[in-house]
Amino acid sequence: MRRDHDSSTVATPFNVAIVGAGIAGLACANALAERGVAVTLFDKARGPGGRMSTKRLEQADIDLGAQAFTARDPTFQKALASWIALGHASRWPNVSYQASPNGWQLHHDPQPRYTGAPKMSTLTRHLANTFQTHPRSTLHLAIRIEQLKRLRNGWQLVDTQRRWSGPYQHVVLTTPPPQTLPLVTPWDGALTEACHARPQRSCWAAWAILDGPLPLPPGGEHGWQMAHVDHPALRLVSRNQTKPGREHQPESLSLMAHLDWSDSHLEDDPQSIADALWAAFRSLFPADATLPKRIASGAHRWRYAQPSTADDQLYLYSNSGLALCGDSFTHSRVESAWRSGTYLAQALVDRSV
- Residues contributing to the site for ligand FAD (CB under 6 A): 19-25, 42-45, 50-52, 65-69, 144-145, 174-176, 179, 203, 205, 256, 302, 305-306, 326-327, 332-334, 337
314: left (phi over 0), alpha (psi -120 to 50) or beta: left
Task: Identify whether the C-beta of residue 163 lies closer than 8 Å to the C-beta of residue 155.
Answer: no
CB 160 within 8 A of CB 144: yes
CB nearer ligand FAD, residue 218 or residue 270: 270
- Residue with Cβ nearer ligand FAD (278 or 285): 278
Of 249 and 328, which CB lies nearer to ligand FAD in the complex structure? 328
Per the DSSP assignment, residues forming a β-bridge with 57 are none
Q: How far is the CB of 290 from ligand FAD (least distance, A)?
A: 29
- Closer residue to ligand FAD, CB minimum distance, 65 or 167: 65
Q: Residue 249 CA to chain centroid, in angstroms?
A: 23
Shortest Cβ 212–ligand FAD spacing (Å)? 26
Nearer to ligand FAD, 256 or 274 (CB): 256
Give the separation between CA 73 and CA 314, rounded to whole angstroms. 13
Minimal distance in Å, beta carbon 49 to ligand FAD? Answer: 6
Question: Rounded CA gap, 220 and 226, in Å?
Answer: 11
Q: What is the nearest approach in angstroms of ligand FAD to the Cβ of residue 338?
A: 8
**Residue 50 zone, left/alpha/beta (φ > 0; ψ -120 to 50; rest):** left
Q: CB-wise, 7 or 161, nearer to ligand FAD?
A: 161
- Residue 306 CB, nearest distance to ligand FAD (Å)? 6
Assign 344 to helix, strand or coil. Answer: helix
Half-sphere exposure (Cβ direction) of 329: Cα atoms closer than 13 Å: 27
Closest distance between ligand FAD and the C-beta of residue 211, in Å? 25
Question: Crossing angle of helices 74-85/334-352, nearest 10°?
Answer: 110
Least distance from C-beta 56 to ligand FAD, angstroms?
Answer: 16
Which CB, 43 or 251, lies closer to ligand FAD? Answer: 43
Preceding omega of 199 cis (within 30 degrees of 0): no
- The string over 65-85, giving b where at least 16 C-beta atoms fall within 10 Å of a residue's C-beta and e elsewhere, is bbbbbbbebeebeebbeebee
Backbone angles phi, psi at 150, to 5 degrees: -105, 115
